[in-house]
Structure 1
Amino acid sequence: MQRSAVRILSILLALIFSAPAMAEDMFVYFGSHGAGPHIGFSLAHFDTDTGKLTEPVFLEEAVAPAYFIIRSDGRRLYTCNSSPGSSVSAYAIDPNTAKLTFLNRQPSGGGDPSYVSLDPSGRYLMVANYLGGSAAVFALRSDGSIGKRTTFVQHIGASLDPKDPRHAHAHSIRFDPSHRFVLLADLGVDKIFVYRLNPKTGALTQNDPPFASVAPGSGPRHTAFDPQGRYVYVINQTANSVTRFGWDSNHGVITQFETVSTLPNGFEGSNMGAEILMHPSGKFLYATNRGHDSVAVFSVQSETGRLTPIQYVSTQGKTPRNADFDPTGKWLLVSNQDSNNAVVFRIDQSTGQLTKNGDPVEVPAPFCERFLPARK
């Protein structure tokens, strides 16, 4: 009798551990850019096994939400509200339903803020202001709402390209993987600035050396690091290219290595680079093109970080601005601002190539998207 019981238990355990992992239901937030009824944030579901995305349901009105992020514990959402809002906003996330509760809003310190990020401790919110070329840092209160501004940085100057004498336009601000330095890409002055954040005061101070430059008129927009923090990749909005830099995390020094196009040979239309994402494996890099309306896929050489273009895939819409990986790294979600839709791509884990998964899903004027695990 005892032997039979042990045998049955062994069979049950074997069945449990040999069974395939259950698909996880994820929440997905979309931010719709604009103002008016039913414009703001919406919520969809995503199946990590099949890659199926449901049509999003309206959640919360907001004025011109642009780039937004979710705190690592999944309990707070922060967004920059571009013109006419020119502010940063905080929301609480219900852990069971993913519904949003507005906490507060603060002026961003400049016009048309384009990017927000958190410091590693979660105590400070950083924002890049596109118009006027500035950045600001805000202390966060214990409830996650946005408190006082702790520092303000103003960039001065214009592009060195006489054909395009833009003013400073700060476009992204984020920490490096070592959590020692803050990188601020300024599209207008063709520089990637390097700062240090004082964890006690929230003040930004320039590093020495204070910046690295790209070719005049390139327009550096967003940055991405390889998983080991050896290289930083910058997508250049105006030049439609990606520049690879070596990254010294001990001293905050950027060394330029190469620049490659995000567009296929022979393309002659107008285009602007937008988002850049490094796959969690570190093997592949993805960049979105607004105009060519595609995702450029690159393989990443493991020893040198060198990029090789391997695919240009249509985003099934117009003006793909931002994109995001699901937490499994098997899927890439891309939203198309001017065709009001979002599309899911399956990522080949061996080659990095993308395959469209299902039909595009309707989303009004999507600017940004973020995954959040559904709470069981």
Structure 2
Amino acid sequence: MTQFGLKDEIPIYVGTYAKPEEPGIYLCGLNFQTGAMRVVSHFSGILNPSFVIVNGEASRLYAVSEQAEGRLVSYRINIASGELTELDSVPTEGADPCHLASLPNGDVIVSNYSSGTVNRFALGEQGEASRLAAKVQQVGTGPVTDRQEKAHAHSTVTDLEGKYAFASDLGADRIFIYRMQDGGMVHHGEVALPPGAGPRHFVLHPNDQYAYGINELNNTITIYSYNKVEGRLDIIDHVVTIPEDFTGESYPADIHLSEDGCYLYGSNRGHDSIVRFEVDAVTGKLVDPEWTSTGGSWPRNFAVLDDYVLVANQFSGNIVSFKRDANSGKLTATGQELAISQAACVEPVLE
């Protein structure tokens, strides 16, 4: 691994909650022999870059600025050093953007939490996400009155072909499905979850037969069958993300599959754990849960690599690395961590 001149290291960008004058986005290196991490450089000038993504060529980074009048900031990545140069900053046309996704053509989709809007931005000549191409206002409420008083778009995930997008709405208890059509977004369907579930993040299985969504308000993961031709989801089952004997408050956050689709992982804020499930290859159901302490408080976001899992613990301000056994999916603490204040998002840059 020699990306950005980092020998024996995997580059990782980290998004945080920070003031504009403080370091907000960090470039870090993960030693793929030991799991040790270090800060290579950091960048300021943006308020609350709580979610960042890197495009497929690792030439551009996009970051939300999570605030009442949200912004989408585009950066050029120096291919030799990984340093960032701001290209553009535009309003997201929504409040408190909290998630980004990219389409195969490079367009960027922003989920605005507080306004319940999902917006698509087309790229400019320099690869900056600058032109609002589509804006969708989601609508709905749920029984948890202090969290579900209106729609709250929490994430949007697209299929590999960029044909459909799946927007998890915590406030509406729904997955809204959109067709990516003529450069825009057309409502295609929706799936209603149990009242008070609070869908947050979502992932499609690499076999294109199943999908999984983590629900923040009732500590569950929903298992879906997926018809990729019709862009249809059907609920198969729900599983609990925390142990039966846990009596405290906990709110699931992030969800990821291993690259081979054999194991699924979810983060629990409050229980402060990563839960690992084995994926039944025939039914898509989740079995054999195992919990691993994240070594910190409030694991908001994490990344699953072949050999490692990296967890961003927001409240304790540390990123912790775990060795991942590819044969069992089990996690073992490496004893390595990196202090980054209000760490909220980890984005590995892989060859």
TM-score normalised by structure 1 residue count: 0.88
Residue of structure 1 in register with 2:320 after alignment: 343
2:341 aligns to what SS in structure 1?
Answer: coil
Q: Is 2:213 the counterpart of 1:229? A: no
Residue of structure 2 in register with 1:167 after alignment: 150
Structure 2 CA distance for aligned equivalents of residues 160 and 346 of structure 1: 40
In the alignment, residue 107 of structure 1 is paired with which amino acid? P
The 5-angstrom pairing of residues 288-303 of structure 1 reads 288-303=267-282
Residue of structure 2 in register with 1:357 after alignment: 334
- Matched residues, number: 345
Whether the aligned pair in 2 keeps the contact of 1:33 and 1:39 (CA below 8 Å) is no
Gaps of 5+ in 1: 1-22
Residue of structure 1 in register with 2:217 after alignment: 238
Residue of structure 2 in register with 1:186 after alignment: 169
In the alignment, residue 62 of structure 1 is paired with which amino acid? I
Q: Is 2:15 the counterpart of 1:31? A: yes
Structure 1 CA distance for aligned equivalents of residues 279 and 254 of structure 2: 17
In the alignment, residue 350 of structure 1 is paired with which amino acid? N
Q: Is 2:94 the counterpart of 1:94? A: no
Q: Residues 85 and 29 (structure 1 numbering): CA distance in 2 closer, same or farther, change over 3 Å? A: farther
Q: Residues 238 and 118 (structure 1 numbering): CA distance in 2 closer, same or farther, change over 3 Å? A: same
Q: Is 2:119 the counterpart of 1:142? A: no
> Alignment partner for residue 241 of structure 2, among 252, 262, 267?
262
In the alignment, residue 281 of structure 2 is paired with which amino acid? S
Residue of structure 2 in register with 1:333 after alignment: 310
> Alignment partner for residue 305 of structure 1, among 284, 289, 294?
284
Q: How far did residue 163 of structure 1 move?
A: 8.6
Structure 1 CA distance for aligned equivalents of residues 147 and 20 of structure 2: 35
> Alignment partner for residue 324 of structure 1, among 271, 295, 303?
303
Structure 2 CA distance for aligned equivalents of residues 76 and 162 of structure 1: 39
Residue of structure 2 in register with 1:71 after alignment: 55
Q: How far did residue 145 of structure 1 move?
A: 1.2
Q: Is 2:42 the counterpart of 1:58? A: yes
Whether the aligned pair in 1 keeps the contact of 2:88 and 2:130 (CA below 8 Å) is no
Q: How far did residue 112 of structure 1 move?
A: 0.4
Residue of structure 2 in register with 1:7 after alignment: none
Whether the aligned pair in 2 keeps the contact of 1:230 and 1:246 (CA below 8 Å) is yes
Moved over 4 A (4+): 160-165
> Which structure has the greater CA radius of gyration?
1
2:194 aligns to what SS in structure 1?
Answer: coil
Gaps of 5+ in 2: 1-6
Q: How far did residue 58 of structure 1 move?
A: 2.5
In the alignment, residue 325 of structure 2 is paired with which amino acid? D
Q: Residues 302 and 107 (structure 1 numbering): CA distance in 2 closer, same or farther, change over 3 Å? A: same
Coordinate RMSD, CA, aligned: 1.7
Structure 1 CA distance for aligned equivalents of residues 218 and 340 of structure 2: 29
Q: How far did residue 147 of structure 1 move?
A: 2.3
2:274 aligns to what SS in structure 1?
Answer: strand
Structure 2 CA distance for aligned equivalents of residues 163 and 51 of structure 1: 40
In the alignment, residue 190 of structure 1 is paired with which amino acid? D
Q: How far did residue 25 of structure 1 move?
A: 2.0
Whether the aligned pair in 2 keeps the contact of 1:217 and 1:238 (CA below 8 Å) is yes
Structure 2 CA distance for aligned equivalents of residues 110 and 54 of structure 1: 34
